[in-house]
């Protein structure tokens, strides 16, 4: 139930964004605490950063290493990383944060 996942889609290729390094951090009174990290699989997905029972209410930050992703493809890009801040108010729910990516723009939203 209470997991955090992501999916990267490279809209410039019309294909999954495979091989994107992503970190998940949680905001505490002492600053940002690393909660998980991973690399998107061949389908552009990371199914979960933390165990289902470890989600908690609060602010989270996903950081996508988009610069390295495009650099490996010998493609110029504008954003070296994409940072998505979001708030979890119901930690028992699944929070899916997709990233639609191109070399010069991106879009994100809460998915299902």
CATH code, 92: 2.60.40.180
What would the two tokens of residue 92 be? 């028992």
For each of the chain's 112 residues, which pLDDT tens digit applies? Answer: 689 999 999 999 999 999 999 999 999 999 999 999 999 999 999 999 988 778 899 999 999 999 999 999 999 999 999 999 999 999 999 999 999 999 999 999 999 8
Domains identified in the chain, total number: 1
Q: Which of helix, strand or coil describes residue 93?
A: coil
Query: Which domain does 54 fall in, by range?
Result: 4-108
Which residue bears the tokens 């390094």?
Answer: 21
What the block records as the tokens of 1 is: 């139930």
Structure-token pair, residue 34: 């690393």
| Residue 20: C-alpha distances to residues 59, 87, 91, 112 (Å) | 22, 23, 25, 20
Threshold 0.85, pTM exceeds? yes
């Amino acid at each position: 139930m209470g997991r955090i996942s992501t999916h990267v889609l490279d809209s410039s290729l019309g294909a999954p964004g495979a091989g994107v390094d992503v970190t998940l951090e949680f905001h505490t009174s002492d600053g940002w605490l690393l909660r998980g990290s991973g690399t998107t699989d061949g389908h552009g997905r990371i199914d979960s950063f933390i165990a289902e029972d470890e989600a908690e209410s609060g602010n989270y930050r996903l950081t996508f290493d988009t610069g390295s992703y495009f650099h490996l493809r010998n493609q110029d890009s504008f954003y070296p990383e994409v940072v998505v801040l979001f708030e979890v108010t119901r930690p028992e729910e699944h929070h899916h944060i997709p990233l639609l990516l191109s070399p010069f723009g991106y879009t994100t939203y809460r998915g299902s």
